[in-house]
Amino acid sequence: MAKQIDISLAEQSYSIIIGSNILDKTVSRINKLKPDKCLFIIDKNVNDLHSENIRKTFLNVKSKLFTYLFLASEKNKSYKEVKRIQKYLVENNFSRGSLILAIGGGITGDIAGFAASTFMRGIKDNSSADNITFDGR
């Protein structure tokens, strides 16, 4: 069962959805946003366990898909890692019309959220997307 938490801010509001089996619902949300590109920032441990499920789930996304894998650890929760992600975004011509999604736990969400908020002064529409915490259940 999924739980939606609505964040109401003066300038922008967004929802965070936490739960089991929520990846399928995410595809329709991504397609509604119509991003030019999507970057999935994925914890290597989660990818090792669930890469096939993740790949199958996002086959129907109508944007060009990219994947950035990293080891989610306190050591890698750093500006150095954010700079690597931002370099990847620049090298692959991401824009403010692109979307970043985190698949993993808290560290993955923190890194992805910070990278999205600081790349090109904030990736457009990323605040409208859902934060995804996927633990394979």
pTM: 0.79
User: Would strands 37-43 and 14-19 be described as parallel, antiparallel, or unpaired?
Assistant: unpaired
Segments in the chain forming alpha helices (H): 23-33, 44-57, 79-91, 106-118
Placement of tokens 């990736």 in the chain: 123
In the prediction, which pLDDT does 124 show?
A: 52
In the prediction, which pLDDT does 128 show?
A: 37
The amino acid occupying position 120 is M
In the prediction, which pLDDT does 16 show?
A: 74
Write the CB contacts of 8 (distance below 8 Å, at least 6 apart in sequence).
Answer: none
3-state SS of 42-53 is EEHHHHHHHHHH
Topology (CATH) of 32-133: Rossmann fold (3.40.50)
Residue 93, φ and ψ in degrees, nearest 5: 55, 45
Q: What is the chain's pLDDT, residue by residue, as a tens digit (137 residues)?
A: 677 788 887 777 777 777 776 776 788 889 998 999 999 999 999 999 999 999 998 999 999 999 999 999 999 999 999 999 999 999 999 998 999 999 988 899 999 999 998 988 776 544 334 444 444 44
Domain spans of the chain? 32-133
Burial-class residue 1 by CB neighbours within 10 Å (0-12, 13-18, 19+).
exposed
